Structure 1
């Protein structure tokens, strides 16, 4: 059994947060190596350096771990997107950067081993997992709204346009993560396609 770590943080709350982050780091590493179905909570505890029984104080099961890890990774990525978009002086330039950032992230993440999560998770849990895409939608919707207001983009339905742009980007996820598509070519083609669709040059 893995040893129970000593509390070294300044407070119990800080200790719990540090332990939670360590568990999520361990989960992410095991997910990349083995895939969702082959991971056990005992493995997660061993990787994180805590007892399996202590793990239940943070996460009830593998599904909770998966959703928490995905949410954390998505939030970190969206923070980076907002930083990178900050210096752009037009909606078109922000959209150009948004496209490249998304596709670059897809290319940097190898596919998770095993079956697709849609085949593994219960339907309600899979829907909950997918809800993290709403984080990506917010900065993109701001770009589309600004471009429509300034006359850069030709759209009378920013909400639908946002959904269509995201759909186009996520269509490149598997081809890029598996190396089937070249990143630079994908960025060039997707950017050109979306800019034509938006009536933007």
Structure 2
């Protein structure tokens, strides 16, 4: 029986799978989707190439798993943050703060790499679909405040949020960035014409 590096075989398998995913995300962020090959990912993870196929059938299946896992983690955190909030302004604030906390934790790193990558069409479509689902609570909260064009307003806030996330990922204090971003958003909402 092969030597395992965890208390149980399932834990060992989970660790190996996670190592392959981390390696693929690193390669994706540093190079491209085309560079995410079974051999490159296994080597980066410190595993034999054959180990790759115990967890994924192809590079495309690994990329698909990264897509799903990235958004599942972010969506769970967002759902928890928004559960207690009913006021639209409080929901916007919770959304922004949670996104910046996730950025500080590096949770968005795979999604950002995937959005920039030259993915197979099916993976790219799924990334965009999951991205829209993830941002739906922001759009809903903005729409509840009744601006003339809630979709455009939410897109503009999304652009501001992307810039804020980039600042946090580059080392800016998440609390300071959140305070500044929310100040700009609330000012924008105050001057927003109503439908």
After TM superposition, is the score higher than 0.5?
Answer: yes
Contact 2:70 2:107 in 1 (8 A): no
TM-score by length of 1: 0.67
* Distance in 2, Cα, partners of 1:23 & 1:134: 31
Matched, 1:178 2:170: yes
In structure 1, stretches of 5+ residues that fail to align are 10-14, 149-154
* Distance in 1, Cα, partners of 2:24 & 2:51: 19
Q: Using a 3 Å threshold, how does the CA distance of structure 1 residues 124 and 171 change in structure 2: closer, same or farther?
A: farther
RMSD: 3.9
* Distance in 2, Cα, partners of 1:140 & 1:30: 32
Tell me the residue number matched to 1:12. none
Contact 1:27 1:69 in 2 (8 A): no
SS at match of 2:54: helix
Contact 1:141 1:162 in 2 (8 A): yes
Matched, 1:165 2:162: no
Query: Which of the numbers 163, 183, 190 marks the counterpart of 1:192?
Result: 183
* Distance in 1, Cα, partners of 2:160 & 2:174: 15
* Distance in 2, Cα, partners of 1:120 & 1:96: 30
Q: Using a 3 Å threshold, how does the CA distance of structure 1 residues 60 and 44 change in structure 2: closer, same or farther?
A: farther
Matched, 1:71 2:68: yes
Matched residue pairs, number?
Answer: 176
**How far 1:175 moved relative to its partner?**
1.9
**Structure with a larger share of its residues in helix:** 2
TM-score by length of 2: 0.68
**How far 1:193 moved relative to its partner?**
0.5
